[in-house]
Amino acid sequence: MTAVFQERRLQVLIALATVLLGALLLFSRLGHYALWDDEAMDALSARGVVSTGDTTAVLGENIVAYRNGLLLVNLRHQGMPPLPAYAVAVSFRVFGESAWSARLPFAICGLFCVTLLAWWGFQLGLSRVMQAVLGMAILGNVSLLLYFRNCHYYGFGIFFGAAITYLYLTALQRPVCQWLAALVSGLLMTANYTWFVALYICLFADYMIWRRRKDQLSISSLMRILLPQIPFGLILLAWWNPLGTKLGGYLQSNTVVQKLQLFLWNWRDLNACEFISVGILLAAFWFALRDSDLWLRRALFALGLYVILVTVLSTQIIGETEVADIRYLAGALPLCIAISALTFRRISLRVPGWALGLAVLAFGTNIFNGGPLLAWGARSTIVAFIGELVSPPSDPYTPAAKWIRENVLAGQSIWVVPDYMNYPLIFHAPHAVYAWQLDKRGDQQFAALDSIHFRGEVLPDYIVVFGPSIVQIVGLVNSWRKRGVEYRHVATLETFWKDMYRPELFWHFDVLSGWDEIGLKGI
């Protein structure tokens, strides 16, 4: 009895240590960096919610018109799921507007998710060795930590997806858990439409293949799970329907061949961004087939189906990049951790003395990901991340916003190049007017806007250019000079121009270097 008590106490201590270390990694220097563009979009929507109660794109003299108004209907963000904006709006009302308060709701979800995964392992009665392996799999997954440290849908989507899966696998026959699953599903729907659809198709497929005969749900149970989700869906269809925006056309933007290419990219970049390593995936397939491990078979099937669904539903345009928009697959991170843990459970049964040592290599380095063959080489990503928390580098937006606050008068206009870097500056230096976000007035919703918002109608007072984008405007500025309009160089901000703190690992730890260029002032 004493030995059993000692074992359980060690399991509890390991689970608690996982949660406490997770909290430290999630909240340390959470507000250090300025918001990058996707984060700023949600934060600016939240600012609109605070002022109007709706996700308006009109903020004082500014508008927020991403990609020429791609997401807008009647000057409101209809193409963005509303939950992140409303949650951040609450945080703003309580703590004030800052990068820290914008990211706080998502980091809290991260703490909930780490706690859920650690508790799940404890509930399953894992040995202390396997509880430690699970802790390493969670804390060593830097991608998981980074997505929770961003002000965007990722944190909500990852946690809600994990919570729904937990309820499905452990307590789906209990009425109170069915109501809870319905509520969390509605929240997932309002956080990310694609992830909601993909998750429910995966759960339905799992149920039909593996659970229906042994654990069939009654009609009343299905009603408790599904009916409460209908109001969420109706509200979204009526007020935040992305298919009613220009974004809907992106679903048809790629050919079948391009979708197949994206599917292969997704698998490649799941490994490159260390969601799960190719070494663990191969071992998982081996154990699923050789040992007939049912849980590994179900998990691998779910991951394969999830990747297919996200690929089909993705709005990524293949011709614009050479990597997958891997952030669209962040909802699979808990599943990747589960596959890793299940694989190491098999390893511990076969070679128990090797499990911890192999886990240190698998989750503490990128060796199993083929690190030496990757462009950035072998590394310990978790050690690099801890080093970043201890001594974080600069970001391009903080000094740029500071310069604007100190040198640009309220109401003066700025053209930002490239255009997607507008939005962090609108958030962090909102007193200026950010020009030329729209190409033309053709859309009726833009008819009453000031001329400064339309490219070429009125010249801006300032031009702020980041990094190599300077080559895009040199010819234009020279042509204006010939017509008697001259801009002069007033400042160079000596900081690297790229936002290297994005959550995608192949961009987060970019080893390139350079300078942030260049503020130009009109005379």
Tell me the per-residue pLDDT of 2-29, one tens digit each, with 9 for 90 and over.
777 788 889 999 999 999 999 999 999 9
For 344-370, the pLDDT digits (tens) are 999 988 887 788 999 999 999 999 999
Q: How would you classify the pairing of strands 462-465 and 516-522?
A: antiparallel
Quick check: 514 pLDDT over 80? Answer: no
pLDDT exceeds 90 at position 49: yes
Q: What is the pLDDT of residues 469-501, one digit of tens each?
A: 999 899 999 999 989 999 999 999 988 899 999
Percent of the chain with pLDDT over 70: 96
Residue 383: C-alpha distances to residues 78, 132, 139, 268, 363 (Å) = 40, 18, 11, 23, 11
- Rounded (5°) CA angle 327-332-336: 120
Tokens 């011709």, located at residue: 319
pLDDT of residue 334: 98
The residue among 129, 131, 124, 166 whose CA lies nearest residue 17 is 131
Residue 522's pLDDT band (cuts 50, 70, 90): very low
Which position has the token pair 């033309």?
440
pLDDT (0 to 100) of residue 1: 53
Q: Region 125-146: what's the mean pLDDT?
A: 95
Q: What are phi and psi of 119, to 5 degrees?
A: -65, -40
> Residue 252's pLDDT is what?
66
Q: What is the pLDDT of residue 321?
A: 82
Q: Which residues contact 287 (CB under 8 A, 6 or more apart)?
A: 293, 296, 343, 346
In this prediction, residue 466 carries a pLDDT of 95
Candidate ranges 193-202, 465-474, 502-511; pick with highest mean pLDDT:
193-202
Using an 8 Å Cβ cutoff, are 361 and 368 in contact? Answer: yes
| This prediction's pTM | 0.95
Tokens of residue 268, six digits: 């490649």
Q: Using the predicted structure, report yes or no on whether residue 511 has a pLDDT greater than 60.
A: no
Span of 204-213, 274-283, 371-380 with lowest mean pLDDT = 371-380
Residue 250's pLDDT band (cuts 50, 70, 90):
low
CB-facing half-sphere around the CA of 409: CA atoms within 13 A: 4
Please provide the average confidence, as pLDDT, over all residues in the chain: 92
CA–CA separation, 167 and 174 (whole Å): 9
Residue 430 pLDDT grade (very low, low, confident, very high; cuts 50, 70, 90): very high
> What DSSP line would sit under 37-100, residue for residue?
HHHHHHHHHHHHHHHHSS-BSEETTEE--HHHHTTEETTEE-SS-SHHHHHHHHHHHHH-SSHH
d(CA 116, CA 122): 10
Classified as helix, coil or strand, 160 is helix
Give the pLDDT score at 248: 72
Per residue in 285-318, pLDDT (tens digit) is 999 999 889 999 999 999 999 999 999 999 888 8
Q: Are 340 and 137 in contact (CB under 8 A)?
A: yes
